[in-house]
Amino acid sequence: MKAAIHPKYEVVKVTCSCGHQFETRSTMANQQLNIEVCSNCHPFYTGKQKLVDTGGRVQRFRDRYKSRVSQNQAGQSEQA
């Protein structure tokens, strides 16, 4: 292998917009990395995730296509 072709793998200080700071390693040239979301403030990790009203969406879909389903079933019973 060639010597001295790989970038330096150094410690980088990561700062989130919520104020949480931690250190990791990276090949970045900067020693500081600013991020918008981390595991301390992301809704998935904090348990404050907003659930989508899937039940209402499913019901609206069924209501919208109810007439088409009933027409298809009526057409099939006439053919039989």
CATH fold label, 10-66: Rhinovirus 14, subunit 4 (4.10.80)
Query: pLDDT by residue (tens digit) across 31-45?
Result: 999 999 998 888 887
Rounded to two decimals, what is the model's pTM? 0.53
Domain-by-domain residue ranges, the chain?
10-66
Residues with Cβ < 8 Å from 8, sequence gap 6 or more?
Answer: 27
pLDDT band at 52 (very low <50, low <70, confident <90, very high): low
